[in-house]
Chain A
């Protein structure tokens, strides 16, 4: 912390107070944003914090002038929060910021137009970030983390304020996304349901009115929820929307969307190009995609099983929630393998190509180092035919699968297996 003289401290604080009050009087939203954005760690905010810690009695300054005392409560909490933030006391910083936020939202309600919406966004963002930091501090001190949960409640309150008929309602989607991030971090994703219901069914909201950036984020999170609930067609729609409307320059965001969209597309029979995986650094899917293309069951199993590696891919898939999607790809890999056998047979003996002997299939699997007895091979073929991945029938006694002459390996065409 730099040394600041009392005079200089006085000057800095007064300057900030003037800027704040002017911003409100002249409805200068971007100025207000800069004044509230703690996490930006801007030099002006940090120097203000130093000044506050030296001066110690900023409230007297506030009280002295009518101009400042109008926002006395808001400013007092804000200053206290900034002071604590500066000295690394994050739990205190959060608690004070929460009080500031409550007071600020009260004022916001009284302002008729939506001029301060951007500033409100900053407040919502900051409260979430501060809460996460505060929880980290609590856990490291052996206490139970509950600030992020509290931030969630406050965000719900803000949502309620915005959910009205006026121009402020376009801000509701931003707050919704902050709520999503909060709930996902807390693991309480089921709480997303109520706010989703409000956005999607309330008549005051028109989805198209919301800013594009917020729509993309919203579709990303609701798409992920569909993945968790295993509704793949719905997940496809939402994540594809997010991808389509995402700013192409935001590569990090595109990568995040693809991380979930790719497994969903795979389950619908749509395989991405290798260049895509390379461009966005999605190497974890390389093996899976390769396995699907080649019908290489061993590669798929290897990609989804335990390794002795330090970097356990299975854990990665489990954490991101796509594991169950990927497990179901096995049948598609079998289909691809059968198709390859069929194509090879067609080349050598076209008249008999449509007859797949179970023995031949077992042999192909043995080449892939997979040991399967004929009963299990028969079982797999039965399922493939039943789920319409293979067209034909099974002759049990002859131990042969007789393929249909027309289109024996139908494509999934964007529908999940077995539907």
Chain B
């Protein structure tokens, strides 16, 4: 353990922001070559054992209270200068190196488990808009991950923590879609970035100390998420092309139900088979897999409309109701989506004539209305 004297630490004053790091400064010059306190193998040097017993180190809580740097979730009775050990959660802070960190600032595994449980319980909070909730949990889970990696922890309990954090990012991704605001798209981007990082770490931990032919309880599902993030050839979310990634899978994983499912989806997606894609997703996807597939579901539906638009005989109108059933959309939602598509003149070639062709057969009045609407829009 390192003991170094420090000057006062300063923070950047942002309130729970997903943006930047704070830096710790010290007035004492560092002598990195002289590590008298560390013994043993060079491999053990940077792995601290944390001793902080609450969700937030006391030092940090006191400092942030003083600087009014408390998130809304951390304020005791809404007081921006007062928190408590039940409410304060350690903030993410980019440290310069592991040598700068003190053991009393790092939370051991049981505390991290408790912290994560608490953080995830806030997901359903109705008091604040989701962006605010997401922002807080985003930052604080990042700090949890940091504590885990500084201590180089890797066990089944740790796997469970990472899996829960991945779930958070996936669900957030979906919920952020229905939020609005200027910063949402950058939040979304940062969320995807951390999702990718967390998944990578999770996969590494699965691989470390693996017993031959063994896969962890949820491993197949979490591996399948990688495939779903890479259905599209051009999406390089995590940098490694899918065919390379597949090489590393063990045969147990390849044979698992979840991997078979995503391979089926992959086949349908790559071949443009929207019917199979939508049906397979509807019948076999877990909630997490569904959340990740959502953009592709929309893509497949648009693709279906584009195909049908180009390929169908114009004198034989394609009933909207039937189409909405095939694309597994509620009819009302489908109709308004179609009107929106044409209003934005997205992608489709022969707009006017097939528009009439795609009119609903149930009432000629409705189709007349649509034609009128269309003419005013274009």
Contact = CB atoms under 8 A, between A and B. Distances in A.
B274 interface: yes
Contact of B273 (A187, A312, A380): A380
B196 to A, nearest CB: 15
A106 to B, nearest CB: 28
Given A395-B316, A396-B312, A396-B316, A228 B270 contact: no
B358 to A, nearest CB: 10
A321 interface: yes
Interface string B100-126: 000000000000000000000000000
Contacts of B318: 396
Interface stretch (B135-143, B146-154, B239-247): B239-247
B316 A375 contact: no
Contacts of B313: 393-396, 402
Nearest to B260: A306
A378 B75 CA distance: 59
Nearest to A332: B271
B326 A321 contact: no
Given A187-B244, A190-B240, A230-B243, A379 B275 contact: yes
A270 to B, nearest CB: 19
Given A382-B311, A383-B307, A398-B316, A189 B244 contact: yes
A111 to B, nearest CB: 38
Contact of A324 (B242, B254, B306): B242
B248 interface: yes
Contacts of B13: none
| Majority DSSP secondary structure for residues of B touching A | helix
B267 A327 contact: yes
B367 to A, nearest CB: 15
Interface string A362-386: 0000000000000110011011011
A408 to B, nearest CB: 14
A318 B247 contact: yes
A394 to B, nearest CB: 5
A402 B312 CA distance: 10
A331 B308 CA distance: 17
A88 interface: no
Nearest to A377: B275
Given A330-B267, A382-B307, A323 B316 contact: no
B34 interface: no
Interface in B321-371: 326
A375 B260 CA distance: 24
A414 interface: no
B266 interface: yes
A396 B315 CA distance: 10
A374 to B, nearest CB: 11
B178 interface: no
Contacts of A380: 273
B276 A321 contact: no
Contacts of B307: 382-383, 385-386
Interface string A219-258: 0000000011110000000000000000000000000000
Contacts of B316: 395-398
A312 B241 contact: no
Contact of B272 (A314, A383, A398): A383
A230 B248 CA distance: 18
A74 B307 CA distance: 69
A328 B276 CA distance: 15
A324 B244 contact: no
B267 A319 contact: no
Contact of A187 (B239, B247, B255): B247
A418 interface: yes
A76 B209 CA distance: 39
29 contacts: A187-B247, A187-B248, A190-B239, A228-B243, A229-B241, A306-B260, A312-B251, A318-B247, A318-B249, A321-B243, A324-B246, A324-B270, A327-B270, A331-B272, A375-B275, A375-B326, A376-B276, A379-B273, A382-B311, A382-B312, A385-B311, A393-B313, A394-B308, A394-B312, A394-B313, A396-B313, A396-B318, A398-B316, A402-B313
Given A321-B244, A397-B317, 4 more contacts: A312-B255, A327-B270, A375-B326, A386-B310
7 pairs of A and B residues whose beta carbons are closest in the complex: A379-B275, A321-B243, A397-B316, A395-B313, A386-B307, A318-B246, A385-B311
